[in-house]
Chains A and B, each alone.
Chain A
Amino acid sequence: MHGLAFFLFLIIVALTLVITYFASKRTRTTSEFYTADSSLTGWQNGLAIAGDYMSAASFLGIAGMIALFGFDGFFYSIGFLVAYLVVLYIVAEPLRNLGKYTMADMIAARFDDKKVRGVAALNTISISIFYMIAQLVGAGGLIKLLLGIDYVYSVLIVGVLMTVYVVFGGMTATSWVQIVKAVLLMVGTFIISIIVFAKFDFNLIKMFNEVKTATPLGEAFLNPGNKFKDPLDTISLNLALILGTAGLPHILIRFFTVKDAPTARKSVVYATWIIGIFYVLTIFLGFGAAAFVGYDKIVAANPAGNMAAPLLAEVLGGDFLFAFVSAVAFATILAVVAGLVLSAASAFAHDFYSHILRRGEATEKEQMVAARWASVGVSVLSILLALFAQKMNVAFLVSLAFAVAASANLPIIVLTIFWRRFNTTGAIAGMLVGLFSALLLVFFSPNVWSPEPGAAILVGEPLFKLANPGIVSIPLGFIASIVGTLLSSKNADSKKFDEILVKANTGIKELAN
């Protein structure tokens, strides 16, 4: 066990618990629980979005993928970032203007129908849970590698901590854990990148020249096509990356933590700068690991390359930097899972319990109790699932979450804001078709089926050839929404659309003083 890493883990745990303690004193109403009372500034929310978004998969996964496959790993960095233009241009401001606590609020603002809210909540919960299992499985494996703590205990430690943050500190604690994590992650990444760049005499050309002699791929390392060979699959992945972010519920609920649409916009702009700088630096992490750790050592530690960044830190800065980067990775997992618990729990408590079960008649106190119990329930469920999913491929679960978000949520968000004719039937059809087509296509894909025993979950020829379903399921989500609308006899309420249009674009909601 690495003593120093363990010590830094403890410091981070202590720090986050102090944050939770102070946040818990400020968490008495549902508005404080779900949205930190919409009190965050643009900067704070920008950092929190970055902290919520840069998951262990993107920090450790992309560094490893670039180290092993060169250019192809960088596709993820590009897609994850450019996606924020979709968030900024299309989703963020209308969402802040129309919603209150959850994504379903926004759709329910137009379609006053319990079924629409229910299906929207179902999507939120499915996406959050896939994403959370991925994070917890990753966390378990990572902490086992770093500290030697058994998988089961690692998952339990992370699971208990995330439950404590959310149940006691709500959105305030969750946001501050994300902010602290974003700062730590940026500091760690900056330090490693500077050391790597210094080793190449701050010369990009030298870096590119030397890295290709260091990897088994040689010259090919610098060219695309090492990991993604099927053109359609590459495009499908890119489609899911760029459209998925704008449908991820844990990112969407972050826009309710600021007071108005202009602040929501500012927070996306800050987040885009932070996330962009981070993803540029993934080149230094990946190239550095390829050159100074070496392919064999990276693969020996973890076949997917997840240990590339911590190993690089160890080579460059010894025990301390290794311990620091490991602790940052740990903080990263904590921050992301807390955000996910909150998004799933708010869909359960706010949408299912308060609006559907209690028809909006639950008292503030009952709603708070429901929100806290929902958080405990979501945590327990995902911990149990993560314990069974130990052998599952993490990247597969993350790509599933992105594909479902892009296929089931994004079409509905876009059509709700922009299409006058859109109606309840179309909304429900789009959400269900998007959700189930993404799930089914993934189920029949090479992620699940492989003729080679052990290469995937089941042995056999995949019926659907693409690893990523986006290129089929995203259009299906849109088509189902449109066809459902046109086929149903229900007429869209034009007056209601006027209201949504004005509210979404101006934020005019109530009597001005």
Chain B
Amino acid sequence: MAVQERSFENRSAIDYSQIAQSSSFQHLMRAKKNFILPATLFFFVFYFALPVLTSYSNVLNSSAIGPISWAWVFAFAQFIMTWALCMLYSKRAAKFDEIVEQMKQEAKEGGNL
């Protein structure tokens, strides 16, 4: 990040556009997008598949294990999906935090903060 000459009055202002264009911020946004976008699409489709299937068809009414039908199995799968995506996100987000820390460090050295 380029060191910029600044007047004294300006020193307290952070140049957000400069940070936004920095390669580390771009890297952060890409990393977030690559995880959040597909994961969100996935859970929306997975979530709505249950009411759509139960409203427009009876396919989930057949037995999975004895009296327990596939509708219940799918319903439980929603819980597993939620917890799994929750844990997965925390793991990924820890990496996002690292990038942010790195950015703050760089910005400080670069004189932007």
Contact = CB atoms under 8 A, between A and B. Distances in A.
A22 interface: no
A279 B75 CA distance: 11
Nearest to A242: B47
Given A78-B50, A90-B36, A90-B40, A508 B14 contact: yes
A276 B48 CA distance: 18
B79 to A, nearest CB: 6
A510 B13 CA distance: 8
Contacts of A506: 19, 25, 28, 100, 103-104
A78 B86 contact: no
A501 B20 contact: yes
Given A205-B65, A212-B67, A222-B67, A262 B97 contact: yes
B8 interface: no
A82 B20 contact: no
Interface string B75-100: 11011011101110110010001001
Contacts of B39: 89
A85 B104 contact: no
A512 interface: yes
Contacts of B16: 495, 498-499, 501-503
Interface string A473-513: 00000000000000000000011001101110111101110
Given A89-B89, A238-B47, A82 B82 contact: yes
A512 B55 contact: no
A505 B28 contact: yes
Given A82-B47, A209-B66, A508-B14, A502 B71 contact: no
A505 B20 CA distance: 10
Given A85-B85, A498-B17, A506-B103, A238 B48 contact: yes
B79 A85 contact: no
A269 interface: yes
A280 interface: yes
Nearest to A279: B79
A188 interface: no
Contacts of A228: 55
Nearest to B17: A498
A71 interface: yes
Interface in A170-210: 204-205, 208-209
Contact of B32 (A84, A502, A505, A511): A505
Interface string B13-27: 010110110000100
A346 B86 CA distance: 30
Interface string B46-81: 011011101110101100011111011001101101
Interface residues of B, number: 53
Interface in A94-124: none
B72 A222 contact: yes
B1 interface: no
Interface residues of A, number: 53
Nearest to A209: B67
A512 to B, nearest CB: 5
A74 interface: yes
B87 A269 contact: yes
A88 B19 CA distance: 25
Contacts of A238: 47-48, 51
Nearest to B43: A85
A88 to B, nearest CB: 6
Given A235-B51, A266-B90, A508-B19, A81 B79 contact: yes
Contacts of B104: 506, 508, 512
A502 B19 contact: yes
A234 B61 contact: no
A279 to B, nearest CB: 7
A317 interface: no
B107 A508 contact: yes
A41 interface: no
Given A81-B82, A499-B16, A231 B55 contact: yes
9 tightest Cβ-Cβ pairs between the two chains A and B: A231-B55, A499-B16, A224-B54, A208-B67, A498-B20, A498-B17, A205-B66, A512-B113, A498-B16
26 contacts: A71-B72, A71-B75, A78-B75, A81-B79, A82-B82, A84-B82, A89-B39, A90-B36, A205-B65, A209-B66, A223-B71, A224-B61, A225-B54, A231-B51, A234-B55, A272-B83, A276-B79, A494-B17, A495-B17, A498-B17, A499-B17, A506-B19, A506-B104, A511-B14, A511-B113, A512-B113
Given A208-B68, A508-B107, 5 more contacts: A223-B58, A234-B55, A268-B86, A495-B16, A495-B17
